[in-house]
Structure 1
Amino acid sequence: MNEVANPGSSAVVLIGTAEYDHADVERVPSVSANLDDLYDALLDPGIWGVPAENITVLRDERDPASVYDAIRAAARSTRDDGLFLVYYAGHGFPYDDDLVLGLREVDPQFPDEKGLRYPKIRQATQLAIALRRVVILDCCFAGRAGREVLDAGDAVKQIAGRAEISAEETYLLVAVGPNELAKAPLNDRHTAFTSALLHVLTTGSETADPVLSIRTVAEKVIRRVVAAGHRRPEFRAANAAVDAPLVRNARLRPHDLTGVVLEATADVTDPELRGAVILVLRHNDSGALGVRLNRDFGPLPAALDGWRDHVSLPDRLFDGGPVAQDGFISLVRLREHEERPIRFTEVTGLLGSLPLSDAQQSARDRIADLRIFRGYLGWRPGALERLVTHGRLRITDTNPFHAAFARAPFTRTGS
């Protein structure tokens, strides 16, 4: 597989306990930052792009039953092509040779009464419709969880001898071994393990792989934690025959799509994008703006006839998009070696926009080509990246000058 699980079919449950009521259980303030930053990372379409409504954050919970219910509900909301991820950070407690995850009212002498027993978490995750399941535990004694899940090396040996292999893929990544303490360095924003996890997710890998599997992420996290002088995390897999993609390689993300020509793929259902060829005019932290290059709006307004003596002007008006169709955007290609007009906004090189109200003769003489668009396409922060990473829009290597000023036939509005 060369793509991450479908974000819309996936679900994530992030559980963290930073505050504890019992006098013998220390607070772990960095857990709050763990939850905040992991949420942001998984929401990022350049990493995975899980919709906000598919991420459940449970912070400093008191009632184990409500947490189990939340995990079950999230598991049932997944689909076959999705992935179910459960993460916990806080204190872990050994109990009957297993593990209890601490909630706010946990009593270290009787942790099972006000904590989360890992076997019940495992049962809840098994309700997931998604066949790919990942559990990540950042707590002391985390290695006590999931003894039924083999470490990666043993799994490979055991599966190699089987005639049949289950399609279910379960992965368990834990901060420390069964009898070891996890670290939360004083004054650090994150706990040691989650700091390494976030670093791998947000910076990616130097490899050319477009996606990182859970095994690759785990191996990089383990190396980073050990290099920092902490106890070695553990990684286990119930089915090592298939290694599930977890996140996109953030190092390969397209950071700025300004000047890029995009094409709608067959997966597009939005009538505003179906069949569209789009030039991105602006792309930054505030969002993106672009125009459709291949839709006809109607005859060019007679008010623009005065430009015909100075530039190559089409007979038709382009339908740039559904936003602000009471206004016009002029896309121009400047002549080489000419000084740029004062109000020219560059898209790439000599290609940019110029207000139509700029009627100065000197400005017009500097323009080699001009196209007029009524309306435009606009996207909120992250929305354009989401369309690209979900395969709705494809990045082309088309020269933006050729695409913008080609004399190709129009497609009709809404086609």
Structure 2
Amino acid sequence: MARARKTIEPIFDAVLIDEAQDLPQEFFELIALFTRMPHRIAFAYDELQQLNAASVPSVEDLFGRNEVGQPRLRLHSGSHARTDVVLPVCYRNPPWTLTVAHALGFGIYREGGLVQHFDKASLWKEVGYRVNAGQLEDGQQVALSRDPDSFPRFFAEQLTPEDAVQFQAFAADNEQLAWVAQNIRENLERDELDADDILIVLPNTYTAKRRAVELVRVLAQHGISAHHVGATSSQDLMFKEGSVAITHIYRAKGNEAAMVYVIDAEYAVLDQRWASATGLASRRNVLFTAITRAKAWVRVSGVGAEMNALLAEFQRVVSEDFQLRFKIPTEEERKHLRQLHRDRSEAENARRREAIRTVETALEALDRGDIEMDELPEDMKRRLERLARLPKMSE
């Protein structure tokens, strides 16, 4: 005997949803069921929090379909009011900061080429860029910069690009931590910032707890109070009067501060030995999110060769006068990027590292003359020749 469906009684007259991109589809389906007709639902959706996202899902996709396959909700309005509004002005981040965040997030000036890209090149205009040269079309070279209409004038009146965003690379971690502490002390004593104007973001969630303990200790040595959000303070409270907030990247989402320190930024580069680093797109997304927590100033620091590589990318943005110059990838190239830099399981990573070592051993044997090219099977030689003719993604 079939079970009777329970009737759901709506309980909301209207619903406002913020940070909708972080919520599962099931949440939206429940909201549709529990909201009275005519479904007064407003939601804010940041489709570019993941830089390789294509667009906002349709209302039909978000809120699901009923038993007969019809959309539960449709986008409509009984008046002339707009129902779908794209906010054209970014008030949260200075234009130079946002340009740097996009450059690093996509890997525009990365030595190994792009890490990821929008599915639609036209999205560059939608997020506030103008075309200075070239064309926004697949396979075409283009030069982009922030459209003057995409940010308020007060950024240029109150800030300079040199002060708004700075990068520092260090040879040792103790140098990095000392630099952060010294700069925060200057922020408090000379720059007239309060402790709750400052946020320290840790990109690597796996080491965040240990790193927060180290930071609290070093800051205390410089006479600065600090708290690890959710560990030494309430989970619901990001900022505390008289104390500098330290948090990992996922708790930082949805929060901003006047001054942001992003430490251990080499996390977004990985070991240079493995040029096609797995999960690189996710790590670049983390760096993008961390940098865009800054409402005025951001200081990005890290240690070692990887941080030097990231610093070189930043310096290239500055030398290009905060323009992004690159080739729009084709659909095939975007597919390749998604495959190359996707997140992989530990087993996949282990097999990949072993395969790279095997290839490296073979190449070293060829270089030493232990193996001659003529000794290779014909099929292997043809495959090597074919691979050698493949264009580089950065070209």
> TM-score w.r.t. structure 2 length?
0.23
As a proportion of its length, which structure holds more strand? 1
Q: Which has the larger radius of gyration?
A: 1
As a proportion of its length, which structure holds more helix? 2
- Larger RCO (CA within 8 A; separation ≥ 6): 2
> TM-score w.r.t. structure 1 length?
0.22
